[in-house]
Amino acid sequence: MDLSAINPVLLIASLMVAATPLLLAAIGELVVEKAGVLNLGVEGMMIVGAIAGFATAVESGSPFLGFIAAAIAGAALSILFAILTQFAQANQVASGLSLTLFGLGLSALMGQSYVGIKPPQMGDIHIPVLSDLPVVGPILFGHDIILYFGIALTAAVWWVLKYSRLGLVLRAVGENHDAAHALGYKVLKIRLLAIMFGGACAGLGGAYISLIRVPQWTEGMTAGIGWIALALVVFASWKPWRALLGAYLFGGVTVVQLNLQAAGVAIPVEYLAMSPYLITIIVLVILSADKSSAPASLGRNFHASR
């Protein structure tokens, strides 16, 4: 065992990278669920975002354009879900599941000619002096721009949900859509926008995997992150900062357990491999003991005549 081989600074820096796709997807789904819609298609939207972003970045040479394309692709796929559930009144669980299956198939088709290609690199930001600081520099000031965007988005979603009129309306729609409708709010329109926001975030998360974390395109490369994001939203009691904590915890334990393995720590590998799931669930369950509950209208379809 040689724990000194683990460099804590690099460890924290790489756990932030490992956590970002999860954070982006979870924040998007959080907003969707706050509006009273349960979209189980996160995995599908992520993988489509991953290939759309990858393809655009390769064709245009700009990773930044890739991320924009990923957000658009994710949102476009989510519109399909919105049409099915909000206008055709289809079951949300079934529609979400089929969206995931559809996304996995569609992405494999779109990605046929992009296997084995290297995408253009997105440089890390470099702020003179700040980025060169020991310890703080690599952790806080040496990442790519999307990682900071993820944190900023968390803050923005938290502020909007808590303090703004828009957030209040969104929550009203999620808690009691009939009351919101009676007050004159356009329930379907608000939900449509929330679903599209969720799709765009999932798409960004997927592109983060294919453009920065891995970076390459392979079929099925999101490998279940979308499902973990869904679980994270519930365990985080629909609170943005807890979702951030959960994502960092999950990403962190994932990276730490690989580090412990490489350092030869005498814990059976099987326990290490399940530790990210276990620890994240335990911590978030303890945190959610304050009885915060799901949006009351979560998963229920709305029709104005009822």
**Residues near other proteins, by CB under 8 A:** 5-7, 10-11, 14, 18, 108, 111-112, 115-118, 121, 209, 213-216, 218-223, 225, 254-255, 258-259, 261-264, 266, 268-270, 273
Q: Please name the residue ranges forming H helices in the chain.
A: 8-34, 42-60, 63-82, 92-110, 136-140, 145-163, 165-175, 177-182, 187-208, 225-235, 240-263, 269-287
- Distance between CA 22 and CA 40 in Å, rounded? 15
Pick between residue 129 and residue 266 the one whose CB is nearest to other proteins: 266
Nearest approach, Cβ of residue 76 and other proteins (Å): 24
Nearest approach, Cβ of residue 295 and other proteins (Å): 31
Pick between residue 131 and residue 301 the one whose CB is nearest to other proteins: 131
Structure tokens at 224: 């279940």
Nearest approach, Cβ of residue 148 and other proteins (Å): 19
Nearest approach, Cβ of residue 151 and other proteins (Å): 20
Instruction: Find how far residue 95's CA is from the centre of its chain.
Output: 19
Pick between residue 67 and residue 81 the one whose CB is nearest to other proteins: 67
Cα within 13 Å of Cα(148), Cβ side: 10
Pick between residue 10 and residue 296 the one whose CB is nearest to other proteins: 10
Pick between residue 194 and residue 209 the one whose CB is nearest to other proteins: 209
Nearest approach, Cβ of residue 124 and other proteins (Å): 11
Q: Which amino acid is at 201?
A: C
Nearest approach, Cβ of residue 264 and other proteins (Å): 5
Q: Which amino acid is at 73?
A: A
As a residue count, the chain comes to: 306
- CA-nearest of 201, 226, 217 to 50 is 217
End-to-end Cα, the chain, rounded Å: 65
Using CA atoms of 72, 73, 74, 80 in order, give the dihedral in degrees to the nearest 10.
Answer: 110
Pick between residue 36 and residue 205 the one whose CB is nearest to other proteins: 205
